[in-house]
A and B are shown apart, each in its own frame.
Chain A
């Protein structure tokens, strides 16, 4: 019974602010108290869910995502990942979590310079201690999945923006992480590439991976089972479009058309 499982992501009263005094910026703050104190953001994401995070520029989407990906630490509040409080983990355990549990796709692709696409995708496997031959096999498969098998030997400066983004997606899914976090994975792609990348992500979710994706585009949000809207660092709406344990809406619709 999936519904009985505890949520993979639980954040409680999380705030993130930058700067001090008058210049302070509350990138994440949640609802305010009467006295103007931020209460913090609460959010649960169930295993297998497909969440789209929307909001205008500067509303705190990336800030939230970085905290979910254990790349940043909240100013206050708690983050439980699979029931463990991430705040209590040390450096080594955190790198393990980043490596094993999370696949991260950045808003700016963040590929390692001067490194071929294949080596790029092999990196997380190398850090996980996977042997060279196995690493090569899985990385090649992941590149094939994003349609870049023929670009394996190319370095980032020899790839188009869309191709770089697909390498980043391949790198995020090569370790088969339980959770895929994508910060505007289609922001730099044309509609055709967008459909391709979304197709890959839908497929991953259909196989049980939890997906959180940030987007500005309504078409992208249509692929998600649940849509969250942020305004000025607080969640203002949370809409469910499809049940957690069903297939992602786009795949369901396609299946429906065929049927």
Chain B
């Protein structure tokens, strides 16, 4: 029966090939588009977890409904968080100021994306690892030493292949000694996390921002599970230092990576579903192609069907022959589609590296074959139901 089916398809190679191409495109696009959607959500997840899922960011916000100006976050707030004894959920605290400026090394001038002033805890909390040299220490912070750790992008921009550790750079007139270079984290979108200069908080405050407020306080919770607890501890302590009684009128905002993560994940899911829907439509179109071809094939071979029935071919045999043909079309088309889809997912699409979802491969293949059976059965049924003489008389 398979031999008959192969012969039937081979009798009209171009037509069979085009039909298979339809199925192939459908299956390949399902696999590829879902892989792209999945790849983008994997990338987002990776970049967010690389920030550290235990990290909580406290930033200042004007309390809604309150007439009084919001109190800015200060180093004292950070100290209050760090010294509180009844908060096992808080592991470390790092106040953060950010600014910008131009760095000079010899006659090379470069403006890094960000100049960050903070405490050493910042490195661990933000999941930053040093590649060469070392982090600056708590001692450097206490003594306001003019030392800096460079992100890998900034380091290559200023030093090219030279080893930056121990060299002096000048930022906004202040000389800094480079003590370390961070490992490359990799870009996660528009801003490059490796394009930074990180220096002790008081040094940056002294040279650039002044000793007023800080931009953020980065808090590391003791574990991923403890983030919620840490969040309420922080709220409680900061309400104390800011003298706020009403929890609905706080003048700061705490965001954690998990909430960021789930927000991004849900947009990604919508994206994936949309891509999947587009792909499913092309798969359906492929299925309609099979129906069309099988209808043409049946019409063309009606006389043959009549002859076979006159020779005593049972209905099931006729049905089986055409179903075998349409299934073969869809199986080969879908098989090639799987190959093309998987091969195609090795190349990045619009900057996203596709990650194939195994279920989508099985699903797309299964659906394509089912479509072949389903859409093939209509023409096959029509063929098998013909009365021999009507089939024989068919022009």
Contact = CB atoms under 8 A, between A and B. Distances in A.
Interface string B284-308: 0000000000000000000110111
Given A66-B389, A71-B389, A72-B389, A112 B315 contact: no
Interface in A59-91: 66, 69, 71-73, 91
A110 B310 contact: yes
Given A112-B304, A112-B307, A112-B308, A92 B389 contact: no
Given A72-B388, A98-B311, 4 more contacts: A72-B389, A73-B387, A98-B388, A124-B312
Interface of B: 7, 11, 303-304, 306-315, 317, 387-389, 392
B389 A127 contact: no
Given A72-B387, A110-B307, A95 B314 contact: yes
26 contacts: A69-B310, A71-B388, A71-B389, A71-B392, A92-B314, A95-B313, A95-B314, A97-B312, A98-B311, A100-B312, A104-B310, A104-B311, A106-B310, A106-B392, A110-B303, A110-B306, A110-B310, A110-B392, A111-B307, A112-B308, A113-B304, A124-B311, A124-B312, A127-B313, A127-B314, A127-B317
Given A110-B307, A112-B304, A114-B11, A96 B392 contact: no
B7, B310, B389 — which one has the most chain A CB atoms within 10 A of its CB? Answer: B310
A43 interface: no
B7, B312, B317 — which one has the most chain A CB atoms within 10 A of its CB? Answer: B312
Contacts of A110: 303, 306-307, 310, 392
A96 B309 CA distance: 10
Contacts of B307: 110-112
Interface residues of A, number: 25
8 A-B pairs with the lowest CB-CB distances in the bound complex, closest first: A99-B312, A72-B389, A98-B312, A71-B388, A71-B389, A124-B311, A127-B312, A95-B314
Contact of A127 (B11, B303, B306, B311): B311
A73 B390 CA distance: 11
A71 B389 CA distance: 5
Contacts of B317: 127
Nearest to A91: B315
Contacts of B7: 114
Contacts of A113: 304
A171 interface: yes
A124 B310 CA distance: 9
Contacts of A128: 312
Contacts of A69: 310
A203 to B, nearest CB: 22
Nearest to B300: A113
A178 interface: no
A127 B307 CA distance: 12
A141 B388 CA distance: 28
Contacts of B388: 71-72, 98
A123 interface: yes
B392 A92 contact: no
A123 B305 CA distance: 12
B315 A92 contact: yes
A2 B306 CA distance: 35
Contacts of A111: 307
A171 B313 CA distance: 14
Nearest to B313: A127
Interface in A153-174: 171
B49 to A, nearest CB: 62
A19 B101 CA distance: 96
A72 B309 CA distance: 12
Contacts of B308: 112, 123, 127
Contacts of B311: 98-99, 104, 123-124, 127, 171
Contacts of B389: 66, 71-72
A97 B314 CA distance: 11
A71 B11 CA distance: 28
A72, A95, A97 — which one has the most chain B CB atoms within 10 A of its CB? Answer: A95
A124 B317 CA distance: 12
B137 to A, nearest CB: 86
Contacts of A96: 312, 314
Nearest to A67: B389
A128 B307 CA distance: 15
A104 B303 CA distance: 15
A96 B314 CA distance: 8
Nearest to B314: A95
Contacts of B312: 95-100, 124, 127-128
A69 B314 CA distance: 16
Nearest to A73: B387
A9 B130 CA distance: 101
A112 B11 CA distance: 13
B309 A95 contact: yes
Nearest to A128: B312
A124 B311 CA distance: 5
A102 to B, nearest CB: 8
Contacts of A95: 309, 312-315
Contacts of B313: 95, 99, 123, 127
Interface string A101-131: 0001010001111100000000110011000
Contacts of B309: 95, 98
Contacts of A112: 304, 307-308
Given A71-B392, A114-B7, A98 B310 contact: yes
Contacts of B392: 71, 106, 110
A139 B157 CA distance: 85
A127 B4 CA distance: 14
B314 to A, nearest CB: 5
Contacts of A106: 310, 392
Nearest to B315: A91
Contacts of B306: 110
Contacts of A124: 311-312
